Structure 1
Amino acid sequence: MDVSDLFSSCKKGDIFRVRYLVEQRDVDLNVRDNWDSSPLYYACLCGHDELVQYLLASGARCEANTFDGERCLYCCLNDSVRRLLKDYKCITVRAMQRDDYNYFLHMLLEQGLQSDVKFLVHGQIFTAHRCVLSARSEYFTDMFETKWKGKNLITLKHPLVNPAAFGAILQYSYTGRMDIDISLVEDCTRLAKQCKMEDFIEEMENKCKQLYEFVFNKPGICVKVLSLEPHISQLQEEMAQLADCALPTDLRVGFGELPFNGVDRFPTYPDICFRVDGFDFLCHKAFFCGRSDYFKALLEDHFSEGGQLQSQPSTPVITLHNISHEIFIHVMYYIYTDNTELITEDVFDVLCMADMYLLPGLKRLCGKTLAKTICEDNVLYMWKMAKLFRLSRLEDQCTEFMAKIIERLVEQDEFAELIKEDAASLEERQETDSIPVVDEIRFHITSNVQTYSAIEEANQKLEALEELLTSINIEC
């Protein structure tokens, strides 16, 4: 529903609605429709300058000389939009951080944090992590256990191994994304075949076909860069193997056979052990430090407080307190994959630990699970929880639900107290200043009201709300 609303709003040029959907509802602004078109494409097509500028600043992909970039440029309704696209340089850090997981993987490769292997390719050094490459490619798994076993520096001397192509393979392995000069497609394909990356090869071939057809049908268009967008589900599934392997043997019940002939034959090269409820989880500092400032401080600043694993003396042990192993499993899978299967019974405990471990994405995931349980009996409690944990989307969903049942809600003393508390929480509030929760409810009551009957219904709801405010001596 939100996705179709985003496309519709981009066609209309409704920047306020788009901002609401992107910033409050967390809708992906690079989502595709059935015609492989993005919201930015429709904003350009319809000539909405201000909206195009907002989408670009917020992370809409439109690099020059790429398929998406040239397609948007070609369809622009007017020159002002075309100039905006031409002036567009790159995605800002702020925009990249909207997607925490993709940004983390990008920085993991870019900065080589906690890397345990280096590749020397014709004079150029690439830092990497054996666990990531092993999870993404059976070829790397085999090589790290045979020809490259025990090596921290691996030299690739073959004349056909192009450094830029190798860098693109690493980029794809880490992020699922690739940006490569068209002239290097053949080199990338050759390397991908060597690395047994069939999905990558198929994706490259399909993208090349799409690109060539586009250029053929649009004379004058010049595409110099081939870009592959990540398939997040596949990336998450393969990174989940690292979490699967980190599970203690006693807790692997219910997990199916992993690739590469089972868990024991898929070494992940852990460098940290978390002990929870007496269970040892063999994990990777690169993931825990990269995704959580809490774990970064724990592992880097207080490392001397830990012990060592008897079976692997080189692996430090950190004991985590005040968390059960069941909840830690949720945290661990989120850290590796940006996702975890939550059940209602566990979600509050996971939310508390996500807040403690400084994992805002996991908090949002908990918020999505909680949103599915919103009902008349718990909506006020949910709203307070959303405020406490700063879950803006859940808070918005609660006020949206309140707007639907406002005529019954105004009869509850607890709702009146909630409004008073929200008013009191505002510093230096004057008598006529607005109250956030009231403003949000009013917004949802009046949004998308188009028919006469809907207007009548909205007016009745607003009147009920105003009567309550008057009865508790609040003017806003």
Structure 2
Amino acid sequence: MDAYDLFTSCRKGDISRVRYLVEQRDVDLNVRDKWDSTPLYYSCLCGHEELVQYLLANGAKCEANTFDGERCMYGSLSDSIRRLLKEYKCITAQAMQRDYYDHFLLTLLEQGQYSDVKFLVHGETFQAHRCVLSARSEYFTAMFETKWKGKNLIPLKHPLINPAAFGAILQYFYTGRMDIDVSHVEDCKRLAKQCKMGDLIDELESKCKQVGFGELPFDRTDNFPSYPDICFRVEGYDFLCHKAFFCGRSDYFKALLQDHFSEGEMLQSQPSTPVLTIHNISHEIFIRLLYYVYSDDTELSPENVFDVLCVADMYLLPGLKRLCGKTLAKMLCEDNVLHMWKTAKLFRLSRLEDQCTEYMAKIIERLVEQPEFADMIKEDAGAVEDRHETDSIPLVDDIRFHITSNVQTFSAIEEANVKLDALDQLLSTIGLEC
């Protein structure tokens, strides 16, 4: 339903509705309909320039010499939209920031926080992290254990190693993308071959563009050195980790680790690795958190999702909270919708909150008979600062919106009016008007 709404809004040029669907409902900007068309295509076709600009800035795909790119270009209603498409860059800062994990990885590379190795390439210095390079390349794994073992500064003096190409290879290691001039493609291919990166070689042989890949940084199945610099101890279990990832992904861990270890316990097996004991969390839940920190995904179930949500909130991991919200949304039913709404409000999960009110709108005639629902409305009304008798109540407003949205036929209008009457009657019974 959300995808259909997005296509309809793009055809109409309703940018506020598109913003809501993208930013609140997390609808995929590159979704396709049965005609293999995208929201961007319809926006171009109907001449909505401002909307086209918004979609491009937020990650809509429109590369040159691709099916989608050429279709949007030739279908555009105006020359100004065509100019927008021609000036389009594959990844914008705003689009990158919409994906917190990609943004974190790019920042990790550019700022070099907690880097444990530097490469000197013909006068240019590149900061990096052994754990990422080892996970992405067998070549680097072998070199860190042999020729480069124990070295923090590694000079690369071979005349065929181009600094720009080396920087592009590092960018690919961290983000799966390459921004490189065409003149350096052959240099990149040479380095990719040396690093045994078959996927990148194949990509470069076709063209240099955005690419996808598996989870970072530990998407290899073989046992390789990961060069940990922190050990978290949870319920007696030791987890060897990396400050770069935990500090980069969580302000909580950033503050914790930066202020810690002036005098602390060290791991016996690795004397240079400090140990931090984490309390008030089970090792099973910490494993779920660990997967998220390193791969931007984790396995959630009805049994663990509430515990993971609490931990995500405590450790300041908004992306993990959103994953929990998506799992909770799949569990939504008439028996738990009120509890889910309270959870969404408590943890500020706006999308889940909206999904709950949408569900409430569908069952409002039965919901008004529940005392708990009436109490929720009273509580929500009381939360409005300096509320007057006729002021609106957010929960009621949201339910009314979903009752009346997309009502087009006469029978649907009648059904909506019945639901609105039931809600108004409840408000009158509990002495509230809005």
After TM superposition, is the score higher than 0.5? yes
For 1:141, the equivalent position in structure 2 comes to 141
**Structure 1 segment 98-247 matched on structure 2, within 5 A:** 98-206=98-206, 208=207, 226-229=208-211, 231=212, 234-236=213-215, 238-241=216-219
For 2:244, the equivalent position in structure 1 comes to 286
User: Kindly tell me: are residues 172 and 92 of structure 1, through their superposed partners in 2, closer, same or farther at Cα, counting changes over 3 Å?
Assistant: closer
Cα drift, residue 277 of structure 1 = 0.4
Q: Does 1:18 align with 2:18?
A: yes
Cα drift, residue 59 of structure 1 = 4.8
What secondary structure is seen at the aligned counterpart in 2 of 1:125? strand
Cα drift, residue 84 of structure 1 = 4.9
What secondary structure is seen at the aligned counterpart in 2 of 1:339? coil
Q: Deviations over 1:236-270 (max 9, x none)?
A: 2x5245xxxxxxxxxxxxxxxx633xx3xx10000
For 2:226, the equivalent position in structure 1 comes to 268
Q: Deviations over 1:429-467 (max 9, x none)?
A: 222222111111111112222232222222211121111
Tell me how far apart the structure 1 counterparts of residues 23 and 108 of structure 2 sit (CA, whole Å).
26
Q: Deviations over 1:394-423 (max 9, x none)?
A: 101111110110110011111111111111
**Match for 1:412: what amino acid?**
Q
What secondary structure is seen at the aligned counterpart in 2 of 1:25? coil
For 1:47, the equivalent position in structure 2 comes to 47
What secondary structure is seen at the aligned counterpart in 1 of 2:389? coil
For 2:356, the equivalent position in structure 1 comes to 398
Tell me how far apart the structure 2 counterparts of residues 43 and 128 of structure 1 sit (CA, whole Å).
41
Tell me how far apart the structure 2 counterparts of residues 43 and 57 of structure 1 sit (CA, whole Å).
14
Q: Does 1:372 align with 2:330?
A: yes
What secondary structure is seen at the aligned counterpart in 1 of 2:126? strand
What secondary structure is seen at the aligned counterpart in 2 of 1:434? coil
Cα drift, residue 37 of structure 1 = 6.6
Q: Deviations over 1:302-356 (max 9, x none)?
A: 2325311111110011111111101111111111011100111111111111111
Tell me how far apart the structure 2 counterparts of residues 37 and 149 of structure 1 sit (CA, whole Å).
52
Tell me how far apart the structure 2 counterparts of residues 159 and 408 of structure 1 sit (CA, whole Å).
76
For 1:213, the equivalent position in structure 2 comes to none
Q: Say whether the 8 Å CA contact 2:120–2:156 is kept in structure 1.
A: yes
**Match for 1:235: what amino acid?**
G
**Match for 1:147: what amino acid?**
K
Q: Deviations over 1:16-73 (max 9, x none)?
A: 331121111112335577998753343223211231233345454669x897878755
Q: Deviations over 1:256-306 (max 9, x none)?
A: xx633xx3xx10000000011011100000000000000000100123253
Q: How many residues align?
A: 433
**Match for 1:356: what amino acid?**
M
For 1:323, the equivalent position in structure 2 comes to 281
Q: Say whether the 8 Å CA contact 2:90–2:210 is kept in structure 1.
A: no
Q: Does 1:259 align with 2:238?
A: no
For 1:358, the equivalent position in structure 2 comes to 316
Q: Say whether the 8 Å CA contact 2:121–2:163 is kept in structure 1.
A: yes
Gaps of 5+ in 2: none
TM-score by length of 1: 0.84
Cα drift, residue 227 of structure 1 = 2.3
**Match for 2:292: what amino acid?**
Y
Cα drift, residue 111 of structure 1 = 0.5
**Match for 2:217: what amino acid?**
M
Q: Does 1:417 align with 2:343?
A: no
Gaps of 5+ in 1: 209-225, 242-257
For 2:97, the equivalent position in structure 1 comes to 97
What secondary structure is seen at the aligned counterpart in 2 of 1:304? coil
**Match for 2:261: what amino acid?**
F
**Match for 2:242: what amino acid?**
H
User: Kindly tell me: are residues 36 and 461 of structure 1, through their superposed partners in 2, closer, same or farther at Cα, counting changes over 3 Å?
Assistant: closer
**Match for 2:221: what amino acid?**
P
Q: Say whether the 8 Å CA contact 1:40–1:60 is kept in structure 2.
A: yes
Tell me how far apart the structure 1 counterparts of residues 71 and 192 of structure 2 sit (CA, whole Å).
28
Q: Does 1:407 align with 2:353?
A: no
What secondary structure is seen at the aligned counterpart in 2 of 1:227? coil
Q: Deviations over 1:118-156 (max 9, x none)?
A: 111222111111101111112211221122222211222
**Match for 1:227: what amino acid?**
K
Q: Say whether the 8 Å CA contact 1:354–1:363 is kept in structure 2.
A: yes
Q: Say whether the 8 Å CA contact 1:403–1:441 is kept in structure 2.
A: yes
TM-score by length of 2: 0.92
Tell me how far apart the structure 1 counterparts of residues 418 and 263 of structure 2 sit (CA, whole Å).
63
Higher mean C-alpha displacement, 7-16 vs 314-323: 7-16
Q: Deviations over 1:191-228 (max 9, x none)?
A: 2122111122223334x3xxxxxxxxxxxxxxxxx421
**Match for 1:324: what amino acid?**
S
Please give the root-mean-square deviation of Cα atoms over the aligned residues, in Å. Answer: 2.5
